[in-house]
Structure 1
Amino acid sequence: MTGGFRGWRVVAGAFALAVFAWGIGFYGPGVYIATLVESRGWTVGLLSAAVTWHFLVAAALVANLPEMHRRFGIAAVTRGGALASAAGLLGWGFGAESWMMFGAATLTGVGWALTSGAAINAMLSPWFDRRRPAALAMAFNGASVGGILMTPFWAWLIAGFGFGSATAVVAALLLAVAWPLAGRVLARAPAEFGQHADGLAAPPEAPARPAPARDRAALLRDPVFRGLSLAFAIGLFAQMGLVTHLVSLLLPALGVRGAGLAMALVTVFALVGRTVTAWVLPAGARRRWAAAATFAVQMAGSLALASAEGSVPLLLAGCALFGMGVGNLLSLPPLIAQAEFPAAEVGRVVALMQAINQALYAFAPAAFGLFRESGGAEAALWVTLALQGLAAVLVLRR
């Protein structure tokens, strides 16, 4: 055995993949909509519907990710996701008619499903058990870095070379990074190097008679799974709705440049919150209390935003507090699943939870638009606060 514990190389590879996955599949759609509305005059409603379709496709596919990994291997599935994302990007960039964006969204939705949260959890699970909170936090920080780096990178490419060329450049970079990573780093198992999870000299003792893994139908009948999934689905619905509309909510008080900086503040604090939580995270069932605390911090952020009345310090404080929880809503579900479900079921639990979450939050941008139209910006913020409070209560109920 040479070169030390190789699990941290897998973390670095997953981090790099997350930068592209979130830069293309999560933060990218907002860029696509804004660019195509301005350059081609297509309607916001139609393009928003294409983005909703993007997330629904991902939700339908990600529930089957554990089976795909078992059948084809992580390397092949990850490479397939990268190819789908690259092809979908070219569709967004060069599609001649607005209806073609639904085809592009189908491909980027497939890529998002195969390279995002459940996929990264599957890459790290063989390598980490006790140290999985820190490993997941470091890998998922790539999602935050994707928001910090990729959005301005998109803007620079589009301004300098046009949208079509920008999508071609990002697609090429994605394949240049993801293709070798998938085969050389992300798909390797500890046994290939004579190593064990967490770098231990010997594997941890397994139960004498491990319970057989349940299928999706059995998990959906499990009240523990249903309650946990519902809590995070509601929390992510509120988060997705507010993040989508946050720039326009901040514009009157902060202006275009200030609103952009405030969004960057949200992303930076998402990285900080996830990292701090990972290093102090309690074990076992107390991880639910960490989730409840996350929702409570986001409630404080929503309250600050709703009460700001144009106050710049309050708006920035609200963005920082809300951002503190953004990353944790991504990394905490697999960690709670690790603590509460048999090891053989964790991958399926995480994938099914992600599918349910995405199916719900795909409709959040449109729903929050209706809240704003019917009751104004404050109504949307109070709805966010109420949903986060409900999620905090539900996550503590087993």
Structure 2
Amino acid sequence: MNNATDRFGWRVVGAAFVVAAFGWGMGFYGPPVFLHAVETGRGWPAWLASAAVTAHFLAGAAVVALLPRLYRRFGIASVTRAGAVSAALGALGWALAAEPWQLFLATLPSGAGWAATGAAAINAIVSPWFVRRRPAALAAAFNGASVGGVVLSPLWVALIGWVGFGWAAALVGGTMVATLWWLAGRYLGRTPAGMGLAVDGAAEPAARPVAEAAPRLWSDRRFRLLVAANALGLFAQIGLVAHLVALLAPALGAQGAGLAMGLATACAIAGRFAMARLLVPGADRRRAAAANYGVQVLGSVLLLAAGDAPALLLLGVALFGFGLGNAVSLPPLIVQQEFREAEVARVVALVVATGQATYAFAPAGFGLLRAGDAPMLFLAAAVLQTTAALLLLRRRELGGPSPGRP
């Protein structure tokens, strides 16, 4: 990568970081806050608001699958701008909904906005600029997601308490639109080829396996194993995170449980940077993802066994949190290693869409377990993530994708 490409490529990563911060802060960490605001402000039952969160994620999953086609037709900059506007309108719709049908209508733009600023979008923004250093670039960009959770989650709560849900949605949404509109025009509408620049390496090492082309994608067992592992791993993560504060509060207190969630987020950032350093060119990224799930399994087991011991609970949270970020950033890197570069955006979109459609039901599923026996949530998370790791390793028993394909 020459100096000009290097400078502008990392500016693109910085822009993607901001997109991720707003995207997750609005579309991922926002809905749980919206849920509480709707319940208390409208007096609607918890199941209704929870169903709206599920509808939000399902709408996003449908749009994620279409992202590659939208990017080809309209460009990344235009789609990102549209996503920011859609997310802002969706949040405002949540705030102003006076009837349940209006709430569910608002989930359509809020879900579409989340799709255009989420994981598949970050991969599409960063990937054209990096090949060999893509793990480090994606890790840096995806850390915006964690920062979005740290900053916007408490900001949502504070603003809603200060000026009300409607004005809070207008302020955060307006800031998101103004910021991403400018960043998209300045950085996201350009490509290395359009600027006459080279990327940091034309390809991965020559021995890298490459999977089948698009028409045979769903018939490729390796692809199906990746999709299944990603869906199970995210289901476990989202399900446990949704209830973690409530599970920790009896032992740590409400404030301590909130600080523990902050610890998990900090460990997620550290985990991304550590994994980026470990993923040297040619490293088996499926093994890395399986090991990442293994660390989280250990965290879940510690949480199960800790009882009321604060030190063990915090260690379990730290281990579980260490893998939170990598569960999102590693699948695109696995796709880069195993599929043709021309297919990467489409494959990543499908992996993200299926994962999102699955984890949309995780809070409700884990809620049913919590109603019976709360510690079962930790056991369920450990079992699901162990299964995800085994599915990733199963690829090796199949012999891996056939080498030598162009």
- Give the TM-score normalised by the residue count of structure 1: 0.94
Extract structure 1 runs of 4+ deviating beyond 2 A. 1-5, 191-194, 203-207, 211-215, 282-285
Counterpart residue type for residue 149 of structure 1: V
The 5 A counterparts of 1:1-398 are 5-198=7-200, 214-215=213-214, 218-284=216-282, 286-374=284-372, 376-398=373-395
Deviations 1:354-398 (A, max 9, x none): 011011111111111111223x11111111111111111111111
Cα deviation, residue 225, structure 1: 0.4
CA gap 1:257/1:206 in 2 versus in 1, 3 angstroms: closer
Counterpart residue type for residue 369 of structure 2: F
What is the alpha-carbon distance in structure 1 between the residues aligned to residue 250 and residue 235 of structure 2? 25
Deviations 1:105-137 (A, max 9, x none): 111100011111111111111100000000000
Helix, strand or coil for the counterpart of 1:178? helix
CA gap 1:45/1:206 in 2 versus in 1, 3 angstroms: same
Counterpart residue type for residue 381 of structure 2: T
Counterpart residue type for residue 223 of structure 2: F
What is the alpha-carbon distance in structure 1 between the residues aligned to residue 289 and residue 211 of structure 2? 28
Contact residue 137 and residue 278 of structure 1 kept, 8 A = yes
Deviations 1:234-272 (A, max 9, x none): 111101100001011011111111111111111111111
Cα deviation, residue 60, structure 1: 1.2
What is the alpha-carbon distance in structure 2 between the residues aligned to residue 272 and residue 2 of structure 1? 29
What is the alpha-carbon distance in structure 1 between the residues aligned to residue 291 and residue 180 of structure 2? 35
What is the alpha-carbon distance in structure 1 between the residues aligned to residue 205 and residue 198 of structure 2? 13
Q: Percent of aligned positions with the same letter in both sequences?
A: 54
Counterpart residue type for residue 397 of structure 1: R
What is the alpha-carbon distance in structure 1 between the residues aligned to residue 52 and residue 37 of structure 2? 14
Helix, strand or coil for the counterpart of 2:103? helix
Contact residue 240 and residue 365 of structure 1 kept, 8 A = yes
User: Any stretches of 5+ residues in structure 2 without a counterpart?
Assistant: 396-406
What is the alpha-carbon distance in structure 2 between the residues aligned to residue 9 and residue 129 of structure 1? 16
Counterpart residue type for residue 234 of structure 1: L
After TM superposition, the structure 1 stretch with the greater mean CA deviation from structure 2, 109-118 or 128-137, is 109-118
Please give the root-mean-square deviation of Cα atoms over the aligned residues, in Å. 1.9
What is the alpha-carbon distance in structure 2 between the residues aligned to residue 361 and residue 226 of structure 1? 17
Cα deviation, residue 206, structure 1: 11
Provide the aligned length of Structure 1 versus Structure 2.
390
What is the alpha-carbon distance in structure 2 between the residues aligned to residue 107 and residue 86 of structure 1? 8
Cα deviation, residue 98, structure 1: 2.9
Deviations 1:7-39 (A, max 9, x none): 000000000010000001100011001122122
User: Any stretches of 5+ residues in structure 1 without a counterpart?
Assistant: none
What is the alpha-carbon distance in structure 2 between the residues aligned to residue 95 and residue 287 of structure 1? 44
CA gap 1:91/1:289 in 2 versus in 1, 3 angstroms: same
Contact residue 213 and residue 345 of structure 1 kept, 8 A = no
Cα deviation, residue 213, structure 1: 7.9
Contact residue 211 and residue 338 of structure 2 kept, 8 A = no
After TM superposition, the structure 1 stretch with the greater mean CA deviation from structure 2, 94-103 or 57-66, is 94-103
What is the alpha-carbon distance in structure 2 between the residues aligned to residue 232 and residue 52 of structure 1? 18
Contact residue 131 and residue 204 of structure 2 kept, 8 A = no
What is the alpha-carbon distance in structure 2 between the residues aligned to residue 194 and residue 247 of structure 1? 50
- Give the TM-score normalised by the residue count of structure 2: 0.92
Counterpart residue type for residue 382 of structure 2: L
